[in-house]
Amino acid sequence: MNTTAAHHPTSVTVPIAALDDFCRAVLSAAGADPATCDAVTRAMLHGSRLGVDSHGVRLLHHYVTVMTGGRVNPRPQMQLASAFGAVASLDAKDGHGALAAYRAMDHAVELAERLGIGAVAIRNSSHFGPAGAFAVAAADKGYIGLAVCNSDSFVRLHDGAQRFHGTNPIACAVPLAESRPWLFDMATSAVPYNRVQLYKSLGWKLPEGVASRASGEDTEDPGEAEMLAPLGGAFGFKGAGLAGLVEILSAVLTGMKLSFDIAPMAGPDFSTPRGLGAFVLAIRPDAFVDIETFERSMRRYVETLRNSPARAGARVLAPGDREWEEADRRAADGVPIDPATQQAFRELASRFGVELPFAGRKAG
C-alpha cells in the first residue's frame, strides 16, 4: 500500500539505477564503508521499488544525518557475539541496521542450510528500514524468512493511554517456485504513523479507532492524534500482543532497549547510539517436507487465494501481490520522488558534490 505522497503531481520520476547510484555515492561520501553503502542502498531500494515509500530513499537524508552525527557507525566491525547450535547473536557495533539485518539473515540461512532452521538476534543496531527486505533476502535463496524489530514508542496498549510499543513490524517471505515470493510485511499498529501525517496534510478524517488523544480516547482528527492504536480495534489486545512478541524477540532476547526506552528516531540527539535489537529467522522448507510437495502446496494455496471470490468492486490479493505489481511498474517507469525528498537530495548532492539523479528531468 502506497502510504506517502510520492505520487504528488510535483513528484519527479527517477530510474531505479540512477537512484541506486545516487544513494551509494552519497553514503560513500558521507563516510560509509562499501558493505554499509551496499546494504543501506539495497534496503532503501526494496522500499522504493515496491512502493513502500515511507521506507524507501526518503530515508537517505536521515541516514546521512545519523552516520555523520555519530549515532550510527558508518564503518562497523560487526561480529558474532555468541553462537550456539542453530542460533547466534550478532553484535552490530552501532552500525547501520540494514547491514546488520542482511548479515544476520545470511547467517540464519547458513544455519538453516545445515540444521533446517536458524535464528540470529541482533544487538547494538539501528533503524533497519523495511523489514520485508530481509525476509525477501531469505526467500530469494529458497528459505522462509522472518524479520522483526522493535522501535521507539508510538502505539498505545489495548485500553492504554500512553505510547508504549513501537510500530514493531513483522515481515515474512516464503519462496514461490518460478515467481516472486509471498511477502507479508505489517506494522502491529492499526495504521502506519505516516498515514496520520498524510491525512493531516490532506485535511482528511482518520478511520475510526486507529489513533488516540493523550488520554487514550479515540480520535478521528489527525491533528489531535498523540499515539496510534494497536491492530485489531475492539480486539486491540491482539495487535498489542503481537507487538509484545516482537518486543520480546527483538529487545528481551538481545538485552537491548525496550521500545519505551529508545530515543526518538527523529532526534534531536543524533550522536548517541540507540541500542536497538532485532531478530531474524530462516527455515529450510525441504528439511520438513520434500520440495515438490512444498512447492505444489504453496502454489495451490496462492493460486486458490488469488482466484477466490471478492466483495463487489474489490479484488483479492495475496500478500505482496500489490507490491510486486508496483515493482514492475517502477522498473519500467521509474520511482516517483516527492518534493521534500527532492529537496533533501539537492542538499545532499550539493554537500557531497554528487550529481543529482533527476537533474534536467521533467516532472513525472
Rounded to the nearest 5°, which phi and psi values hold at 70? 110, -15
Helix (H) or strand (E) holding 304: helix 291-306
Taking the complex as a whole, the smallest distance from the CB of residue 4 to a second copy amounts, in Å, to 17
Taking the complex as a whole, the smallest distance from the CB of residue 99 to a second copy amounts, in Å, to 20
Question: C-alpha angle with apex 152: 164 to 320, nearest 5 degrees?
Answer: 100
Which C-beta is closer to a second copy: that of 237 or that of 352?
Answer: 237
**The length of the chain, given as a count of residues:** 364
Q: Which of residues 63-92 bind a second copy (CB under 8 A)?
A: 82, 84-87, 89
Which C-beta is closer to a second copy: that of 83 or that of 363?
Answer: 83
Task: Kindly give, in sequence order, each residue whose CB lies less than 8 Å from that of residue 245, ignoring residues fewer than 6 positions away.
Answer: 148
When binding is defined by CB under 8 A, the residue of 3, 241, 263, 325 that contacts a second copy is 241
When binding is defined by CB under 8 A, the residue of 62, 216, 352, 356 that contacts a second copy is 216
Q: Which of residues 261-290 bind a second copy (CB under 8 A)?
A: 283-285, 287-290
Q: Are 176 and 123 in contact (CB under 8 A)?
A: no
Q: Which of residues 137-176 bind a second copy (CB under 8 A)?
A: 144, 157-162, 164, 172, 174
Which C-beta is closer to a second copy: that of 10 or that of 293?
Answer: 293
Q: Are 364 and 13 in contact (CB under 8 A)?
A: yes
Which C-beta is closer to a second copy: that of 177 or that of 331?
Answer: 177
359 near a second copy, judged by CB under 8 A: no
177 near a second copy, judged by CB under 8 A: no
254 near a second copy, judged by CB under 8 A: yes
Count of residues binding a second copy (CB under 8 A)? 81
The span from the CA of 263 to the CA of 230, in Å, is 21
Helix (H, G, I), strand (E, B) or coil at 95: coil
Q: Which three cell numbers stand for residue 321?
A: 501481490
Helix (H, G, I), strand (E, B) or coil at 141: coil
For CA atoms 147, 152, 153, 154, the dihedral sign is negative
The DSSP call for residue 125 is E
Question: C-alpha angle with apex 170: 168 to 175, nearest 5 degrees?
Answer: 160
Closest to 58 measured CA to CA, from 319, 339, 254: 339
Q: Which of residues 323-342 bind a second copy (CB under 8 A)?
A: none
- Per CB under 8 A, the segment of 12-20, 25-33, 36-44, 212-220 that binds a second copy is 212-220
Which C-beta is closer to a second copy: that of 320 or that of 357?
Answer: 320
The span from the CA of 105 to the CA of 128, in Å, is 13
Q: Which of residues 302-321 bind a second copy (CB under 8 A)?
A: 304-305, 308-312, 314-319
Which C-beta is closer to a second copy: that of 294 or that of 345?
Answer: 294
Q: Which three cell numbers stand for residue 175?
A: 519462496
Which C-beta is closer to a second copy: that of 289 or that of 331?
Answer: 289
The position carrying cell 544455519 is 111
The span from the CA of 337 to the CA of 283, in Å, is 36
Q: Is the omega angle on the peptide bond into residue 268 within 30 degrees of 0, that is, cis?
A: yes
Which C-beta is closer to a second copy: that of 323 or that of 338?
Answer: 323
Taking the complex as a whole, the smallest distance from the CB of residue 198 to a second copy amounts, in Å, to 15
Q: Which three cell numbers stand for residue 307?
A: 482466484
The span from the CA of 133 to the CA of 348, in Å, is 25
- Per CB under 8 A, the segment of 2-10, 64-72, 95-103, 113-121 that binds a second copy is 113-121
238 near a second copy, judged by CB under 8 A: yes
Taking the complex as a whole, the smallest distance from the CB of residue 345 to a second copy amounts, in Å, to 32
Which C-beta is closer to a second copy: that of 154 or that of 294?
Answer: 294
199 near a second copy, judged by CB under 8 A: no
Taking the complex as a whole, the smallest distance from the CB of residue 93 to a second copy amounts, in Å, to 17
